[in-house]
Structure 1
């Protein structure tokens, strides 16, 4: 076992504090990664504050991890010392079910994936995430970060990137498609960049026009305020895909009215509160109301390669580890443009 420094929440809703954790020895198929950068995802805050369900504490959050390989197990074939790599929201799965064999590990039916933190591995030990100096992960759940991407702007792609890329690809976004992105935050800003790079006509739907200039700069063709009732009248029946990135209940009937025939509203934000949907709002135009998880490992690699090819990286604010608690408060206040990333050298 190796002892490394980390930042952990000792209890639900408690401020994160510097501590030490133990990482397992490097096994035959494991990769040891020196973490360089770790993104702060809103789901880190949900979990550290028991917003979704009861967590495992002490909790070391962080599933947007970018770093460099410093040691590999004797049976590792995919990576070498010095490689630039990333780790996202999961570090293992059953590997035997149909979904896992198809490269859809987030949908593992053999007990579900082992999450990067706030979970237990196959030995029953708690998993600890990326707010730490190092991590040991099986090579099958590590992805390569192309040279064309800076590690700092690549880190958020390991969650925000694949969370938005996967549904855009699944629903056939490309030239000739009209896509709306609800919310211009940590997820939404990456979704706008990706949809634009895929060749779609992109519209941002936000509560106000406060971030309009940013939205247009990031690749949006149009920007509307949802606080204006005329928005829903003007855009009725417009979109092939609506990507909802906000973690709050919405008036789904209003948003579903914006879809054209066979359009899909895909929800990737997960509110802490239950939401209600009126079926009558879905019936018209054979609309789809659906969700999407992160993508599997093959699709995550595909996403990173796509981002490198098209110059897509997260818009980040780099912080020291001592600023994590302040960053949590700013995220909940929507006061970040658009992703906090921790410089792991400060842990």
Structure 2
């Protein structure tokens, strides 16, 4: 299938139009015309080579929604015209214990990311959603509920599931006390989802500049990490902290905020951290943990949850040819929303 997208051709180079071929449908494949694709900070890191050498040319994008255009001969879940979505992975071994448990993101043989990874069968490099079409194994395609606005759904597939999964894993319910470090693309979704679960949510940031934004999406306010007295007064007040900071930082200032048996879960930073102090961990039976997106069943659960509770990311719609400007904004600031590409603007 001939298609067109925007690709990076080397590190720190502007994305530009790229014509390429999608694979022909296998018996269990679904072909999708992409209508919207979210822009994730990890797209920027990946194409810039921040996480290591990449197989250029590379088409980013793993927050994908669209319409089914054709299906393979053995598919049973989807038909032409269905509203569907694709997230951060497009395959896994389907044989290991983690896959059997619905935790495909932790596949013991390695899940296949939506872009920049070898296809399990052919070895061809997967290409993402900054394109007009995509072909994906049926088991990794998700149903978009009819009540969800397609134009605001895409970031749920990454920013949403990245924060929803730890909220579910750590059993956040009504009355849980949740802290969210950072009010960017991930952080604002963590706040909205935790509030929808009935939690009391505090945003933790270096300043209170975004306090009004935090309150508008349901947080009780902002705790300034630079205010030593406020931080001391908030000691042992949180059951769970979702840490969305995407760069190297010191977690030691946050762990004393955790109550007994509390956990700080890192979802934003990939790479080294400042050396953690063990005293607050040992004396409060506290934990520092990590979490990576969610499995397919959990991601479907999230889409249904967002439809039921009317939870959406804050979105700014852009044209495909505005992607490089969007990347510049991502690199220069901590945006409390997600860019979404209207793929109808890609010729």
TM value normalised by structure 1? 0.97
List per-residue Cα deviations over 1:159-213 (Å, max 9, x = no partner). 0110000000000111121000000000000010000000000001112222111
Hey, what does 2:83 align to over in structure 1?
84
Q: Secondary structure at the match of 2:18?
A: strand
Q: List gaps (5 residues or longer) in structure 1.
A: none
Residue 119 of structure 2 is aligned to residue 152 of structure 1 = no
Match of 1:209 in 2: 208
SS in 1 for 2:223: strand
> Does 1:165 find its partner at 2:164?
yes
Q: Residue 339 of structure 1 corresponds to which residue in structure 2? A: 338
The residue number in structure 2 matching 1:134 is 133
* Partner Cα distance (2:148, 2:52) in 1: 35
Moved more, 126-135 or 251-260: 251-260
1:102 aligns with 2:120: no
Give the total of aligned pairs.
345
2:182 corresponds to which residue? 183
Asked if 1 retains the 8 angstrom alpha-carbon contact of 2:250 and 2:274, the reply is no
Cα distance, 1:274 vs. partner? Answer: 4.7
Over aligned residue pairs, what C-alpha RMSD do you find?
1.1
Deviations 1:24-45 (A, max 9, x none): 0111111000000000000001
- Find the aligned partners of 2:318 and 2:335 in 1 and give their Cα distance: 12
C-alpha distance in 2, partners of 1:102/1:59?
A: 31
Query: How do 1:33-48 residues align onto structure 2 when only pairs under 5 Å count?
Result: 33-48=32-47
**CA distance, structure 1, for counterparts of residue 95 and residue 107 of structure 2:** 9
1:284 and 1:199 map into 2 onto residues whose CA distance is 29
- 1: CA distance, partners of 2:23 / 2:162: 28
- 2:122 corresponds to 1:121: no
1:303-318 → structure 2 map (5 Å cutoff): 303-318=302-317
Q: CA deviation at 1:300?
A: 0.3
Mapped partners of 2:267, 2:241: distance in 1: 11
